[in-house]
Amino acid sequence: MSAQRVALVTGASSGIGAETARRLADAGWIVYAAARRTDRLEQLRGRQVRPLTMAVTDEASMTAGVQQVLAEAGRIDALVNNAGYGSYGAVEDVPLSEARRQFEVNLFGAARLVQLVAPGMRERGSGRIVNVSSMGGRFAMPFGAWYHATKFALEGFSDALRQELEPFGVQVVVIQPGAIRTEWGDIAAQSAVEASGQGAYADSARRVAEALEGASGSAPSVVAEAIAKAVTARRPRVRYAIGLGAKPATAAARLLPGRALDAIIARGIG
């Protein structure tokens, strides 16, 4: 059994997840870097990082992954629920099967891992659960209805979970990244065009796709640094809004009337 702190990080094959695995490993953690694309995990192998094959849409995969970590390391001190993607397209156009998949990846996968990991943390009286949401968990853009729905849901889920686990010494933290330089924008843009690139919403969908593809952003390392703070601070914040645009966007969503926020978003899309 390891005496070192142990973290399980999902969605670790690239972007924020990969940077988080590296950052925690540099800080002395044993990191299980989990993803379904195992070939891309090999770049992380070494020193403190141990690749772990896991699909957050597969019950057997998640159960086996957590059991492997516990068998090898004896504990999980931090769970970083980072796996997720953006499914875009008009509500009329996106099949409900895709909407359900978006929820399976962005919400229910995280929730199931919490169910698997939280009992051990609760029994030890310590632990951190970090759920990576988005600044889009506080406001919505057109064509992102299902993506935003999952992030709004993750925010509420995290608030309830935090209150449930805090009496047992387990802290729950939400990370709200802004625009970050990862594959996320290209994937979201492609899905918008595939779903709504033809028909009544075509022009608007293409403008949204161009905005998603062309957006500048912060390096994934800035989010990884915030996650590292969240899992090590004696009393972490409830939320960390981090990266390009995150703080002003979440503040605007909190303070502005809905129609005023709609107008600002519409101007930003063009």
The two tokens of residue 110 are 């995280």
Task: Provide the phi-psi class of 12: left if phi over 0, else alpha when psi is between -120 and 50, else beta.
Answer: alpha
Residues annotated catalytic, as ranges: 147
User: Among residues 158, 191, 172, which one has the least CA distance to residue 235?
Assistant: 172
- How confident is the model over 34-40, as a mean pLDDT? 87
The pLDDT tens digits for 161-207 are 999 999 999 999 999 999 999 989 999 999 999 999 999 999 999 99
The C-alpha atoms of residue 93 and residue 88 are separated, in whole angstroms, by 10
**Greatest extent of the chain over all pairs of C-alpha atoms, in Å:** 59
pLDDT at 1 over 70: no
Looking only at the bridges linking them, the beta strands covering 30-35 and 6-9 are parallel
- The reported pLDDT for the residue numbered 213 is 86
- The reported pLDDT for the residue numbered 42 is 85
Bridge partners for 129 per DSSP = 79, 172
The C-alpha atoms of residue 11 and residue 26 are separated, in whole angstroms, by 19
DSSP secondary structure of 86-127:
---S-TTTS-HHHHHHHHIIIIIHHHHHHHHHHHHHHHHT-E
Would you say domain 6-269 falls under CATH 3.40.50.2300? no
The two tokens of residue 26 are 């540099």
For residue 34, which phi and psi values (nearest 5 degrees)?
Answer: -105, 140
- The reported pLDDT for the residue numbered 270 is 73
